[in-house]
Amino acid sequence: NSIRHAGLGPDDYIDVEAAWSGTVLRVIVRDSGSAAPPSEIVAGSIRPSPGGQSGGGLYLVDKLATRWGTNLEGSARFWFELEYPRPAGPSI
């Protein structure tokens, strides 16, 4: 998405940061592009075109991530979290 939609040039960057808390993987994607990210994306309204060759990235994030969003502080574009369920404790 950064390559296609952020208006990046040859000297621009894409930074992907991942942090694992033990139960949650949080991924933040930043780029130095000039295009503003969408101001509001409604979860569940993202759907690739039937038979389309692209356009499925945010659809997959929406379906797989526990939480996700846009426009963090600084130059961040998107973030998402994948939560690993804790195993149930022994029954007593």
Name the more confident of 79 and 7.
Answer: 79
Please give the distance of CA 46 from its chain centroid, rounded to a whole number: 13
Give the residue from 70, 89, 90, 81 showing the smallest Cα distance to 2: 70
pTM, full prediction = 0.66
Residues 6+ apart with CB under 8 A from 82: 24, 25, 27, 64, 65, 66
Query: Which pLDDT score is estimated for 43?
Result: 47
Residue 34 pLDDT > 60, yes or no? no
43-77 pLDDT, tens digit each: 455 666 677 666 677 788 888 999 998 866 655 57
Question: Taking the CB of residue 78, how many other CB atoms lie within 10 A of it?
Answer: 22
**Interatomic CA distance for residues 76 and 84, integer angstroms:** 24
Query: Which pLDDT score is estimated for 76?
Result: 57
